[in-house]
Chain A
Amino acid sequence: MDIDWGALGTVFVVALAAAVVLTVLFAYGIRGLSARETAREQGGSGVAQFTGSIVCFGVCAAVVAYGIYLIAA
């Protein structure tokens, strides 16, 4: 019996990296949206915050798409 610890380790590392990247980016995206609201309430435009959020969400979507591509290909 040979247990493939390497593959198991790969699952752990890949899953941890993917999940952390996704949750962190998404959380920053939401923080950006919230900061944009605050900026607008104080008379600012909030464009910078909004752009930051969109970038975060965009990278999120790209990571997911790449993951699915890896599996389907």
Chain B
Amino acid sequence: MDFSLIVLVVIVAALAFDFTNGFHDTANAMATSIATGALKPRIAVAISAVLNLVGAFLSIEVAKTISGGIVDDTKVTPVVIFAGLVGAIIWNLVTWLVGLPSSSSHALFGGLIGATWIASGADAVHFGKVVEKVLIPAVASPIVAGIVSLVGTFLTYRITEKAKEGMVGKGFKTGQVLSASLVSLAHGTNDAQKTMGVITLTLIAGGTLAPGSNPPLWVIGACGLAIAAGTYLGGWRIIQTMGKKLTEIQTPQGFAAETSSAAVILASSHLGFALSTTHVTSGGIIGSGLGRKLAEVRWGVAGKMVIAWVLTLPAAAIVGAIAAAVSTRGSWGTILIGALGVLVALGIWLASRRNPVSAHTVNDEPDAAKATPVAA
């Protein structure tokens, strides 16, 4: 199989995005288990990494949605996809720096949409598809997960009301290990697919694959490995936000929230909905906060998250559009954008060293959590 240099560059950028996707989303599966002490931080991310890899191989429905959907694949060139990926990676890194669990999927879609729009005009973007495949699931999925998790949490507490406290704590700790594993697996079936879809789209645009092809095996393997490596790195900043700042979580709640999230993600993956696993698990955690009597949800933190969700797609689109405007001017433009992307990534990493959050400090009470909590 031979492909041009630009296709190779896009594949590298796509895998880099997948890697950021991994550490950005470790929190989705493991935040509640780490917060309740059900799993040690290092072990949690290792389990999650392996199951993400397995999940990547389970289903390719979502990859097919990406490669044959939201942008006109006859008008997209590898350079445009490259610009879109730069937009997505930069937004992912910025939100990670401030510890916001924004959607990696929306960053990816936003970047691609912005880049395509600038490079090929507005009609190369299928806005109908964007609403259908991205916006509707974005609004619906956290609500669905929240309701499911609320019902699950409520029932769990009702049923175990009279049981011995020690047994409940111990039992649900074990349950959480299992349910968190299921979320990791589900994450692989949905998020690893998105990068596979992008690489497949590139190979189609570059003429290596016929339009409408399924992702080749080496693409599935490479994406699975990239997301697993990112996951193992652990996005401790976001884990802290989701596990500690949003609501106080007990083991039965963590179990109910994770089971609900896994069910929603797996059902969606199977039907090819590229939903945001971040939105689903956040909805699940809030639902479990509401489902336990008198549990507090810190609506201030939840509100900030929602603002980040709304901003993600347009913000990544703007970065993607700028990247496309420069990189479609010629090879020098592409090289310039690539170099700038690496510099920005390096800068963000350096900035993060000033206030590091690691496996050791992830469960410390952060300052933001001391802000007045609002009773739910």
Contact = CB atoms under 8 A, between A and B. Distances in A.
Interface in B129-147: 129, 131-132, 136-137, 140, 144-145, 147
30 contacts: A1-B129, A4-B132, A7-B273, A11-B264, A12-B148, A15-B263, A15-B267, A16-B151, A19-B148, A19-B152, A19-B256, A19-B259, A19-B263, A20-B151, A20-B155, A23-B255, A23-B256, A23-B259, A24-B155, A26-B172, A26-B255, A27-B156, A27-B159, A28-B159, A30-B160, A31-B160, A31-B162, A34-B160, A64-B182, A71-B58
Contacts of A29: 171
Given A16-B151, A26-B255, A71-B189, A38 B164 contact: yes
Interface residues of B, number: 46
A11 B144 contact: yes
B171 A19 contact: no
A70 B225 CA distance: 24
B202 interface: no
A23 B263 CA distance: 11
Nearest to A1: B128
A18 interface: yes
A3 B132 contact: yes
A35 interface: yes
Interface of B: 58-59, 128-129, 131-132, 136-137, 140, 144-145, 147-149, 151-153, 155-156, 159-160, 162-164, 167-168, 171-172, 175, 182, 185, 189, 252, 255-256, 259-260, 263-264, 266-271, 273
B58 A68 contact: yes
A71 B270 contact: yes
Interface string A57-73: 00000001001101110
A68 B57 CA distance: 12
A11 B268 contact: yes
Interface residues of A, number: 35
B265 to A, nearest CB: 9
Nearest to A38: B164
A67 B186 CA distance: 11
Contacts of A4: 132
A30 B167 contact: yes
A31 B132 contact: no
